[in-house]
Amino acid sequence: MSTLDEFADAKLDQLEARRLRRTLRETWRTERVRAERDGRALVSFCCNDYLGLSHHADVKRAAIAATEAFGAGAGASRLVTGNHPLYRDLETRLARLKGAERACVFGSGYLANIGVIPSLAGADDLIVMDALSHASTHAGARLAGARVEAFAHNDTDHCRHILREARAGHRRCLVLTEGVFSMDGDRAPLAALAELAAEYDAWLMVDDAHGFGVLGAGRGASFETDPAPAIALHMGTLSKALGAYGGFVAASARVIELIETRARSLIYSTGLPPAVIASALAALDVIAAEPERCARPLAHARAFTARLDLAPAASQIVPLLVGEAERALMASAALEDRGYLVTAIRPPTVPDGTARLRVTFSAEHTADDVAGLADAVREIGLADG
């Protein structure tokens, strides 16, 4: 055995002992919210396909047509081979939805965050971010080489304290948060953070991966209020509510021009396959034609929390905290035995002692699906209602 294998074995044994080892399980997403695993039909409540568009007939047809017209792959970075025409159409529509001058599409949401943040902040700058921001946001902040300060989750007073103490000593400042937090399902106080950013001459960037397509009539979390708060940088994904793949940032035209020439994760990554771009465009068409589809995930989540006498859901994501990793795995297995696919989320994705089941709701769930899961959750002892 090589020393590399010895290293891997030791690490895997340590993870297994703490019930933190991850394994890939073959799972067939059949249609809508149905899945098949180990020969068993399941109703999935763990997918980010919030509008059920990855299997929508129009979206699939668009992907097939784009492959026929433009080929299977992009061939190289967009800055090398150039854009195929679908990119222009998609970025124009994304910018319009976000009320921005322009947008730039990346290979994924992770690539967007690790590309945009270092493009705008450097060694003499300050980044102030919510402590529960996504791993890609933390990675982007580290790559920037700026001073990074985290404020307690959704605590605007703590954010203000950091800005008051540290802002004056730095050239530029980014404030980073999320529209909907992916593991807790709660929303950021965007209006208050926008006011703080304006007061301290900071640029507010909102990762709205889980709000885009669902909240604000599909436009995202920042459009839940009128007027919408002033946000300098809107980040989102194409891989969740739109059912495709990729990420994007929307901002002023000059900022996007700067990102296009500085974001290493854009410059040095192959462009998205044409089929993926076409899928996202078709998904936007469905959203425009069926606005009621955007409202259903949150409605289902609130029906679920009401049935279990839980606090009303703030988004289509409802966490059921169980504490230890072993208990989360057991609860997930118990629900799978009852026909429901709900994944256990464990550290380091969430803090120690906060392992949970992360329940996500789709427009394609039925009222019976939601009621059945709630009853199963109560049956296995995860709710006292």
pLDDT in tens, 131-181: 999 999 999 999 999 999 999 999 999 999 999 999 999 999 999 999 999
Catalytic-role residue among 84, 240, 300, 365: 240
Band the pLDDT of 385: cuts 50, 70, 90: very low
pLDDT of residue 384: 60
User: Would the pLDDT of 19 be above 90?
Assistant: no
Active site residue 210: yes
187 pLDDT above the threshold of 50: yes
Which of 329, 244, 335, 322 minimizes the C-alpha distance to 284? 244
Q: What are the chain's domains?
A: 21-53+292-379 (3.90.1150.10), 74-272 (3.40.640.10)
98 assigned to active site: no
Mean pLDDT in residue range 208-225:
96
The active-site residue, picked from 49, 149, 207, 369, is 207
pLDDT digits (tens, 9 = 90+) for 283-317: 999 999 999 999 999 999 999 999 999 999 999 99
Indicate if the pLDDT at residue 85 is higher than 90.
no
Residue tagged active-site, from 210, 234, 300, 365: 210
Write out the two tokens for 326: 């072993």
C-alpha span between 284 and 288 (Å, rounded): 6
d(CA 207, CA 234) in angstroms, rounded, equals 7
Amino acid 82: pLDDT = 80
Pairing of strands 317-323, 147-151: unpaired
Q: Which of 48, 77, 83, 252 is catalytic?
A: 48
Average pLDDT in the chain? 95
Q: Within 10 A of 140 (CB to CB), how many other CB atoms are there?
A: 31
Is residue 18 predicted with pLDDT exceeding 90?
A: no
Q: What is the DSSP letter of 141?
A: H
Of 56, 84, 134, 365, the active-site residue reads 134
pLDDT at 367: 97
Catalytic residue, candidates 91, 178, 184, 364: 178
Tell whether the model's pLDDT for residue 383 goes beyond 80.
no
CA 305 to chain centre: 22
This prediction has a pTM of 0.93
Mean pLDDT lowest among 118-127, 302-311, 375-384:
375-384
H helices of the chain, in order, are: 3-17, 57-70, 78-81, 85-97, 109-120, 135-144, 156-166, 190-199, 253-262, 264-267, 274-289, 291-307, 325-337, 367-379
pLDDT at residue 197 tops 80: yes
Q: Does 158 qualify as catalytic in the annotation?
A: no
Among residues 182, 222, 265, 279, the one annotated as catalytic is 182
> Is the model's pLDDT at 272 over the cut of 80?
yes
48 is catalytic: yes
- Can you spell out the DSSP letters for 27-96? -EEEETTEEEETTEEEEE-S-S-TT-GGG-HHHHHHHHHHHHHH-S---SBHHHH---HHHHHHHHHHHH
